[in-house]
Chain A
Amino acid sequence: NVEPRSVPVFPWHSLVPFLDSSQPG
């Protein structure tokens, strides 16, 4: 028997950088 393997699911926000815009440069 082959056990079903779960496919990983990634959240959308893991694909784009978190850049803090709260402090003007």
Chain B
Amino acid sequence: PAAAAPGSNPSHFMKGAIIQLATGELKRVEDLQTQDFVRSAEVSGGLKIDSSMVMDIRSSQQRPGLVSLHFTVGEQQSKVTIDVPPEHPFFVFGQGWSSCSPERTAQLYGLTCHLLQVGDMCVSITLQQQQ
């Protein structure tokens, strides 16, 4: 299955960055909560929140310096792999921002993260299926 790498613009994740929810509300990136994503998807029409479980974390074979994250996505349990820098934050349900290297995330973005681990359920989005 196809997978799009998360946004390449790191300023999204800089502490203090202003994020607009689908409801129009503005929040700082460090203040976002699980419900903000869920509610945004509900009102956005066309986007659906999926739970993506981290199945494996290892160094990328193809791209040194990156980390390969293996997910199973949604009800279909699709297997998706993406390569990201170790400092890239993911939003874990009920926990908040998490990365493979919270120290680097703090250095580069100023964003406080938990350590991303196998079994974590990350927020991801897909296109809403038309019934």
Chain A: number of interface residues, binned into ranges = 10 to 19
A9-B18, A17-B4 known; A25 vs B79 contact (CB < 8 Å) = yes
Query: What residues on A are CB-neighbors of B11 within 8 Å?
Result: 8, 10
From B3, B13, B127, contact of A17 by CB (8 A): B3
Number of A-B contacts (CB under 8 A): 113
Query: What residues on A are CB-neighbors of B12 within 8 Å?
Result: 10, 14-15
> What does the 1/0 interface line of A3-22 toward B look like (CB < 8 Å)?
00001111111111111111
Chain B: number of interface residues, binned into ranges = 35 or more
User: Interface of A with B (CB < 8 Å)?
Assistant: 7-25
> Residue of A at shortest CB range from B2?
A20
Contact B17 A21 (CB under 8 A): no
- Cβ distance B7 to chain A, nearest Cβ, rounded Å: 5
> What does the 1/0 interface line of B1-31 toward A look like (CB < 8 Å)?
1111111010111000111111000100100
> Quick check: is B112 within 8 A (CB to CB) of the other chain?
no
Contact B40 A13 (CB under 8 A): yes
> What does the 1/0 interface line of B118-131 toward A look like (CB < 8 Å)?
00001111110100
